[in-house]
Amino acid sequence: MIFYVTQDSHIFMEDFWENITIYDCFKKHEEFLEFIPEDRRDTIMQAKDCSKLSGGEKQLVNLVRAISSDSSILALDEPFSALDYKTELAVCKKLLALKDKTIILITHNQQEEYLNMFDEKIVTKKFK
């Protein structure tokens, strides 16, 4: 029901599809490849060992894994911290467009354009 992703969730020393499906525990959903920017798709999908990908590429693999899990609630803790702002914004827009998912996202991104995409916001402050 709930799938939890951190900014550095585990990546297996396996290829893309083994990582996404967790060794065929989840269905292979090729339509979710749209969550990986086109300019990174070949690099990520052709990797024989996804644990050697960059931090942002690993985060994209984890995001597609989460979506492929068919969980109705995705709890994402800084899932885009290694992505540039433009990529983060594009990927997040696609994520929030999913109709059958509740997304709980923890972020340090305080850009107004970014935060305005969400239905609800909870802001916490550090106490001294």
Residue 126: pLDDT band (50, 70, 90) is confident
* Torsion 37-91-126-3 (CA) sign: negative
Task: Provide the 3-class DSSP secondary structure of residue 104.
Answer: strand
Q: pLDDT by residue (tens digit) across 8-32?
A: 999 999 999 999 999 999 989 899 9
pLDDT at 125: 82
Note the helical H segments in the chain.
16-21, 38-45, 55-68, 85-96, 112-115
Question: Which helix (DSSP H) or strand (DSSP E) does residue 13 occupy?
Answer: none
pLDDT at 18: 96
pLDDT at 121: 93
The vertex-93 CA angle with 35 and 126, nearest 5°, equals: 110
pLDDT at 52: 97
Is residue 124 predicted with pLDDT exceeding 90? no
Q: pLDDT by residue (tens digit) across 35-73?
A: 999 999 999 999 999 999 999 999 999 999 999 999 999
Angle between helix axes 85-96 and 55-68 (nearest 10 degrees) is 0
CATH topology of domain 2-115: Rossmann fold (3.40.50)
